[in-house]
Amino acid sequence: MTTPPIIEFQPTEIDAIAATEGRVALLIGAEGKLDQAARRVNKLSRGALVRFVESEAFAKMKSGQAKTLAFPAGMAAEAIDVVRLERRPSQDDARKAGAALSKLRGDAALLLLAGSNSKVHEVALGLALRDYNFNAHKTAEASARGTITVMCSKPEETAAAAAPMAALAEGVFFTRDLTNEPANILTTEDFAARLAAMQEIGLDVEILEEDALEKLGMRLLLSVGHGSASPSKVVVMRWNGGEKDAAPLALVGKGVVFDTGGISLKPAGGMEDMTMDMGGAGVVSGVMRALALRKAPANVVGLVGLVENMPSDRATRPGDVVTSMKGDTVEIINTDAEGRLVLADVLWYAQQEYKPAAIVNLATLTGAMIIALGHENAGVFSNDDSFAADFLKSAAAEGEGAWQLPLSPAYDKLLDSRIADMKNIGGRPAGSITAGQFLQRFVQDGTPWIHLDIAGVASVKSETALAPKGATGWGVLALDRLVRDRFEG
């Protein structure tokens, strides 16, 4: 498991700077004013800091950016990293500043002289989130990571503000690890075992095996997993930190550990990317982890459908008709539209079993989502505009791109089937919307519901502001904030 770096907060100790090894970093606002610690760095480095701050190079720096003065004279440190950041920066700039420092440090120890900056805890979150590397399958011995120490004017207050953020970083790292993990390692069995291990942090975890799913009538979900040697499972994680008996928020995730398309086989090129097709379940798991670690005063239940979509003589065929747990029949036109089948049954089960106050489901559901919004925004679909607006607000506040698309009866009609209650695909036009319409058929009227299609944002091929290339953990921060703003207290 990849764990976020531990960040220590201490009072500023000017006399410790000269002998500090590794890297020393400073936050300096646009006006270039130096605080006491910065003045000491300047003195030790024989004026190098003032020369830099008065230079064109500093004037051109954007807020949140960092530049390095390497091997300063008069100091044991290998580098001084100067970050341009106002004393009262935006949350976004503060996180970016932290991320910039993480990139520069590599494995080196870091001492950040943060002075009286008002968003030191946000700088720390950016540092932690960008300090991720998926090295689980690199045989070279991992080099020891240097410590991160932050010296600031209110270390105790800052540490208290940073504590829930450390929980968030753990949640994000958990999501990224799950999403990056290849399918021969992260089988449905292995996934369930990793979730069961979260009982240690106070989550109540229940694993529904195939016989139980069969009894419940989750035939749509089971029909997806039929072709695989790995057994299908539904895992339920419960966090009851809120009022006793208060209806929970339900989070539902698509956990297709690998998607070949099944009998409707995908082309070979890029098929390896489908190791991330459990990204929705990964986000649900990461949010549950963060909520438990920060002991959130809210009731949240996370449900993930874990299956593998493989072709075999036991696999579902195009043309098969399968009955859902709800009772509606589905004509499977394309076995590659499997995520909606998994979610339909888990959504229905979540409503029957937990009577949730609201539902958010997440899935790497459609390639069409990437065509529509690329890798910048997840698609948001909802039956409740005020709930959707709340989520969009949470996502914007956390810098996670999200954009709402419509649902309507005209799109729903595209799912009508000649021989069953519905087809599992609606054709090429509006492919992401018809997938959303399919899901909505399994959501009871009156239950506020949001579907997040994260196909474009769960894992990306170039680095983002707070993550290296690969799994991003998109959604963990936004959903944690949604819980804080709408489901706590």
Which residue, 222 or 287, is less far from Mn ion as judged by CB?
A: 222
Residue 181 touches which of ligand BES, Mn ion, Zn ion, none (Cβ within 5-8 Å per kind): none
Told to judge if 33 belongs to the known catalytic residues of this protein, a careful annotator would answer: no
Which residue, 68 or 334, is less far from ligand BES as judged by CB?
A: 334
Q: Is 336 in the site for Mn ion (CB under 5 A)?
A: yes
What is the closest distance, in whole angstroms, from the C-beta atom of residue 115 to Mn ion in the complex?
51
Active-site residue (options: 40, 326, 340, 423): 340
CA distance 398 to 366: 24
The identity of residue 357, as a single letter, is: A
- Residue 468, φ and ψ in degrees, nearest 5: -75, 175
Other CB atoms closer than 10 Å to residue 214's CB: what's the count?
12
Ordered DSSP codes for 19-42: T--SEEEEEE-TT----HHHHHHH
CA distance 133 to 301: 29
What is the closest distance, in whole angstroms, from the C-beta atom of residue 433 to Mn ion in the complex?
17
Q: Buried b / exposed e across 23-47, counting CB within 10 Å, b at 16+?
A: bbbbbbbeebebbebbebbbebbee
Q: Is 367 in the site for ligand BES (CB under 6 A)?
A: yes
Q: Is 282 in the site for Zn ion (CB under 5 A)?
A: no
**List 93, 277, 331, 400, residue binding Zn ion (CB under 5 A):** 277
Sheet holding 66-70, edge to edge: 7-11, 148-152, 110-115, 23-28, 79-84, 66-70
Residues 425-444 binding ligand BES (CB under 6 A) are: 425, 431
Annotated binding residue at 336?
yes
The closest alpha carbon to 276, from 224, 225, 231, 339, belongs to 339
CB 89 within 8 A of CB 119: yes
Annotated binding residue at 54?
no
Annotated binding residue at 259?
yes
Which x/- pattern over 453-482 shows residues binding ligand BES (rule: CB under 6 A)? --x---------------------------
Told to judge if 238 belongs to the known catalytic residues of this protein, a careful annotator would answer: no
Q: Is 379 in the site for Zn ion (CB under 5 A)?
A: no
**List 177, 259, 398, 453, residue binding Mn ion (CB under 5 A):** 259
Which residues are within 8 A (CB) of 157 and not within 5 positions of it... i.e. 6 or more apart? Answer: none
Annotated binding residue at 277?
yes
CA distance 126 to 130: 6
What is the closest distance, in whole angstroms, from the C-beta atom of residue 392 to Zn ion in the complex?
25
Annotated binding residue at 400?
no
Active-site residue (options: 266, 393, 484, 486): 266
Residue in the shown chain whose Cβ atom is closest to ligand BES: 367
Q: Is 331 in the site for ligand BES (CB under 6 A)?
A: no
CB 316 within 8 A of CB 323: no
**List 259, 345, 400, 480, residue binding Zn ion (CB under 5 A):** 259
**List 259, 345, 390, 398, residue binding ligand BES (CB under 6 A):** 259
3-state class of 94 per DSSP?
helix
Residues 331-370 binding Zn ion (CB under 5 A) are: 339
What is the closest distance, in whole angstroms, from the C-beta atom of residue 156 to Mn ion in the complex?
50
In 360-475, which residue ranges form alpha helices assigned H by DSSP?
A: 367-373, 385-397, 409-412, 431-440
Q: Enumerate binding residues for ligand BES (CB under 6 A).
A: 259, 277, 334, 336-339, 364-368, 425, 431, 455
Active centre residues (catalytic): 266, 340
